[in-house]
Structure 1
Amino acid sequence: MADLSPAEQEKVDQELQAKQFAEQAALPYKWTQTIKDVDVTAQVPANMRGKDFDVKITKTKLRVGLKGQEPIIDGDLPHPIHVDESTWTLESTKDGKEISIHLDKVNKMEWWAHVITSAPKIDTTKIQPENSNLGDLDGETRQMVEKMMFDQRQKEMGKPTSDEIKKTEILEKFKKEHPEMDFSNAKLG
């Protein structure tokens, strides 16, 4: 396959995006996701009540529909969910009513290409993740990210990274403890 010019690649990407948009718009529901969860909504008749629905949420399957009718969604989930943290609600909207399903992902480090495996996929490599705060991270992960950010800024300014600073400090301390030694040819590696 020949390499595409940036303009050709952009055209291919736009065509793919338009195709995916059309496929997603044709679904009887809308869905969004964050790295942690998936939210699905579907318009339903305004006279419907919660007891009129057949909703089944399991670790690997989802079925949503009105009792006695063809389901709006029915199939295998692409990845497992936490059933106890997943919910559904019926909400009034300006256009009638909407059923809203919240699915809590087990793996909070992956994007879903679709809600159910039989639905058209989206290209998850094109997802722009929402900005997250360092405060959202656990202590160890936060320290690692802060160190990486510091080292990146230091490199951009042509300054030593945190590891290089640490090595220099250790060498300086060792020099003070051993004034009798010659360090003129010492190199940090």
Structure 2
Amino acid sequence: MKSRDDKLGFPPGVSLKMLTAVKDIARKKKICMKASPANVDDETMESHVAVKPDASLEGSSDTAFVAETNTNKQTQAAVNPEFIPHKPSDTQSTTAKAQASGDQSATKTDSKDTEDSHLTKQQAEFQSNPDSYNGAVRDNYSWAQSITDLDVKVKVPSYIKKGRDVKVDIAKKHLKVSHKDDQGQWKVLVDGSLTWEVHKDECIWTLNPGANVQVTLEKREERWWEALLDGEEKISVRKIDASRPMTDLDDEAQAKIEEMMYNDRRKKMGLPTSQEQKVQDIMKNAWDAEGSPFKGQAYDPSKFSVDPSGLINMKPS
């Protein structure tokens, strides 16, 4: 310690005493491990205080060491569980805070695991229903989605049989569905802002008499929606079916996938892929060409290899 007010460290001379005591640790190790806390003497306890060099005091005549505790009472508390100090040290307070923080983290982790389990179970129920596939079921409507569009079904009373009894307003980021009640008054079923924008001119709706109003919305961007309307409970897009049918892809992408599938089948059969076959055809034509070192020899594909990038490597003769 540099002064009596320091919270960590030892008075002058104690560090030398500790260094001397450390020399005896090897001899006393077996005794200390077998001894009960009541049989551990002060010198043994002092020799077990964790120490580390204090870089700020390097070069002084008496090398100082900083310990995790600064009083014999705190050392006794570490060894004897029945000892109760009058005032906890900073280290003990820090440890208690760390433990409390760890408990809070564990509680948050358990809460998150429970929430994830609930979402997984809920989404599994939604996935089993065609009306909420990749979407959700809400109080008076359900919605499903693909990467390009959404299908919303809004429940209507059984007496709604004609389209004139229904009103559907679709904006680029808003949806409102209403119907006439038995008093001839308009009743709103759905009225809210969409999570993302849609192509309103490409959206359509139809009435399934006595059942629901079906609204098809075309997304402006190809993305998965977490909710149909703002403020609605969100689903986890990690737990939906994010695969896309090949028919949704352009011609170039479909051709690439078909080529990959073809090459995979060829590899399983031990045959060259389309790229490897193309290279072999070129090599076969050039094998006996004018100026070729192999002119006049039978074509032998074992004399070269083709890497996945199409590069030809000649093997040593």
For normalisation by structure 1, the TM-score amounts to 0.71
What's the RMSD between the two structures over aligned residues? 3.6
1:29 aligns to 2:151 (yes or no): no
Q: CA deviation at 1:60?
A: 2.1
Name the residue aligned to 1:113.
Answer: 226
Q: 1:141 aligns with which of 243, 253, 269?
A: 253
Q: CA deviation at 1:44?
A: 1.4
Distance 1:172 1:76, change over 3 A: farther
Distance 1:46 1:185, change over 3 A: closer
Cα distance in 2 for partners of 1:13, 1:181 equals: 67
Q: 2:192 aligns with which of 64, 72, 75?
A: 75
1:99 aligns to 2:218 (yes or no): no
How does 1:157-172 map onto structure 2 within 5 Å?
157-172=269-284
Show CA shifts across 1:109-159 (max 9, x none). Answer: 43322212322222223333677465x654323221211111222233343
Name the residue aligned to 2:118.
Answer: 15
How does 1:173-184 map onto structure 2 within 5 Å?
173-178=285-290, 180-182=292-294
Give the greater-gyration-radius structure (CA).
2
Distance 1:13 1:139, change over 3 A: same
How does 1:124-135 map onto structure 2 within 5 Å?
124-128=237-241, 132=245
Name the residue aligned to 1:123.
Answer: 236
Q: CA deviation at 1:85?
A: 1.8
Q: 2:151 aligns with which of 39, 44, 61?
A: 39
Name the residue aligned to 2:34.
Answer: none
Cα distance in 1 for partners of 2:289, 2:230 equals: 65
Q: CA deviation at 1:41?
A: 0.9
Secondary structure of 2:201 counterpart:
strand
1:63 aligns to 2:176 (yes or no): yes
Secondary structure of 1:47 counterpart:
coil
Secondary structure of 2:119 counterpart:
helix
Cα distance in 2 for partners of 1:121, 1:180 equals: 67
**Is the CA contact 1:42–1:100 (under 8 Å) kept in the aligned structure 2?**
yes
**Is the CA contact 1:32–1:38 (under 8 Å) kept in the aligned structure 2?**
yes
Q: CA deviation at 1:12?
A: 7.9
The structure richer in strand per residue is 1
**Is the CA contact 2:136–2:144 (under 8 Å) kept in the aligned structure 1?**
no
Identity %: 32
Please tell me the residue identity of whatever aligns with 1:56: D
Please tell me the residue identity of whatever aligns with 2:208: E
Q: CA deviation at 1:40?
A: 0.8
Q: CA deviation at 1:62?
A: 1.6
Distance 1:13 1:158, change over 3 A: farther
Please tell me the residue identity of whatever aligns with 2:277: I
Secondary structure of 1:154 counterpart:
helix
Higher relative contact order (CA 8 A, sep 6+): 1
Q: CA deviation at 1:57?
A: 0.8
For normalisation by structure 2, the TM-score amounts to 0.46
Please tell me the residue identity of whatever aligns with 2:214: S
Secondary structure of 2:178 counterpart:
strand
Q: How many residues align?
A: 177
The structure richer in helix per residue is 2
